[in-house]
């Protein structure tokens, strides 16, 4: 078994008197690709934000590669694509990608920028400002920013909403290539058509983990027959 990428023990989040998540005990190993399912408000974004270090637990703990999710060690190794990504107002798409690579000590081989632009269907928009893009194009830009930097763990929150079919397939292929390269993936989605692209499925219901098993077995939970 590979080393542990993510471990949570009694991980719990409350917002005031709302019990949003947990307690969750979870172990995800390096190289696993995990799909996270659950109806609106089930706690998917809360879990991902705790793993992304953008939220503090109310109780329990999360460790990424053995360290605090907010640590520099983890920031260097984890890429995070939130459901509402922030893009700079004054940087072009190409500048976003160049800046992100440099901030994370990319190799200097920047051909990945052109590849991502081309594959995500952003060709011709490189010099434009993503802040002025349509929602779908902004989402593709944010996906490119998340994928352009080196990472060992990628966390993604509902990436397929608003993406056209080509963008969705391109993004799925890129996720699969990252996994084949050894990265660990955790992706929250409602999209039943993408389930088969993942190894393991987790289902959250009302903040509790109610299923953990092969991703293909998550399908009944998506139909609404189990989660109401």
* Contact residues for Mg ion, defined by CB under 5 A: 44-45
The nearer residue to Mg ion, 45 or 141, going by C-beta atoms, is 45
Q: Which one of 1, 40, 108, 127 is in contact with ligand ADP (CB under 6 A)? A: 40
The nearer residue to Mg ion, 44 or 200, going by C-beta atoms, is 44
189 binds ligand ADP (CB under 6 A): no
CA pair distance 51, 63, nearest whole angstrom: 8
Cβ atoms of 197 and 169 closer than 8 Å: no
Kindly state the tokens that stand for 134.
């349509």
Question: How many residues belong to the site for ligand ADP (CB under 6 A)?
Answer: 11
The nearer residue to ligand ADP, 14 or 76, going by C-beta atoms, is 14
- Binder of residue 46, out of ligand ADP, Mg ion, none (CB less than 5 to 8 A by kind): ligand ADP
38 binds ligand ADP (CB under 6 A): yes
Q: Which one of 44, 94, 96, 119 is in contact with ligand ADP (CB under 6 A)? A: 44
Q: How many CB atoms lie within 10 A of CB 179?
A: 18
Residue 41, helix vs strand vs coil: coil
- Binder of residue 38, out of Mg ion, ligand ADP, none (CB less than 5 to 8 A by kind): ligand ADP
C-alpha count within 13 angstroms, C-beta hemisphere, residue 110: 13
Q: Are strands 33-37 and 18-29 parallel, antiparallel or unpaired?
A: unpaired
183, burial (CB in 10 Å: exposed 0-12, middle 13-18, buried 19+): buried
List interacting residues with ligand ADP (CB under 6 A).
15, 18, 20, 38, 40-46
């Amino acid at each position: 078994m590979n080393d542990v990428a993510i471990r949570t023990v009694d991980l719990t989040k409350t917002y005031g008197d709302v019990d949003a998540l947990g307690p969750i005990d979870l172990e995800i190993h390096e190289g696993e690709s995990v799909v996270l399912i659950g109806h609106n408000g089930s706690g998917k974004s809360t879990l991902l934000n705790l793993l992304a270090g953008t939220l503090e637990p109310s109780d329990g703990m999360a460790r990424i590669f053995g360290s605090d999710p907010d640590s520099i060690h983890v920031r260097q190794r984890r890429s995070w694509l939130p459901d509402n990504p922030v893009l700079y107002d004054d940087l072009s798409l190409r500048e976003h990608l160049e800046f992100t690579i440099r901030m994370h000590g990319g190799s200097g081989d920047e051909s990945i920028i052109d590849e991502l632009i081309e594959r995500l269907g952003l060709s011709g928009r490189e010099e434009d400002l993503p802040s002025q893009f349509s929602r779908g194009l902004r989402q593709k830009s944010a996906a490119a920013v998340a994928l352009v930097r080196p990472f060992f763990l990628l966390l993604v929150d509902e990436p397929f909403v608003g993406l056209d079919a080509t963008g969705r397939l391109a993004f799925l292929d890129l996720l699969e290539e990252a996994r084949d390269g050894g990265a660990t993936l955790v992706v929250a989605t409602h999209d039943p058509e993408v389930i088969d692209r993942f190894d393991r499925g987790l289902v959250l219901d009302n903040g509790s983990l109610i299923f953990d098993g092969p991703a293909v077995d998550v399908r009944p939970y998506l139909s609404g027959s189990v989660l109401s």
